[in-house]
Amino acid sequence: MTVLKTSVFVLDCAEPEPLARFYAELLGAATGPAPGDGELILVTDDSGAVALGVRRDPNHVTPSWPAPEGPQQAHLRILVAAEALDEAEREAVALGARPLSAEEDGSRPDDRTTLRRFSDPAGHAFVIAAVHEAPAAHGADR
């Protein structure tokens, strides 16, 4: 018998509340404490599905990526319809994301037609990637 499981991608940072709000606004989601885990804030969509978690780590060191001497570690990939890529970039920047140039992250400048690279307010890497079909929403229509 397989044990029922769920997973959540967790970002560690020094100040989890503002980072959780950043991702909630960027993803059109909400934040709340994880049941039974006072250290974890969950970012959830309208159906209650967990998009990611944010956890306080007072000793957190911001990733050095895209600096060549530092690995990217992990990154979040946010999927949007191809025609919404520019608008999604504007939303991310307005919420506090820092765009990363092709020179900073080692990519080709022509990659910007299909994805945009950013660091969130706590320095974690994420990309907004264009898909040819609109991404499926979990739960209710938005």
Looking at residue 67, its amino acid is: A
What is the tens place of the pLDDT at every residue in 7-58? 688 898 889 999 999 999 999 999 998 877 778 898 998 888 878 999 888 8
The residue-averaged pLDDT of 60-74 equals: 70
Handedness of CA 42, 43, 45, 46 (dihedral sign): positive
Helix (H, G, I), strand (E, B) or coil at 123: coil
What is the tens place of the pLDDT at every residue in 86-131? 999 999 999 999 999 755 445 555 556 788 999 999 988 888 888 7
Tell me the whole-structure pTM to 2 decimals. Answer: 0.70
Highest mean pLDDT among 60-64, 127-131, 138-142: 127-131
Q: What phi and psi, each to the nearest 5 degrees, are found at residue 113?
A: -75, -20
Handedness of CA 71, 74, 79, 84 (dihedral sign): negative
Tell me the domains of the chain and their CATH numbers.
10-131 (3.10.180.10)
> Using 50, 70 and 90 to split pLDDT, how confident is the model at 133?
low
- Show the DSSP H helices in 6-98 as ranges: 16-27, 85-94
Report residue 40 as tokens: 């974890």
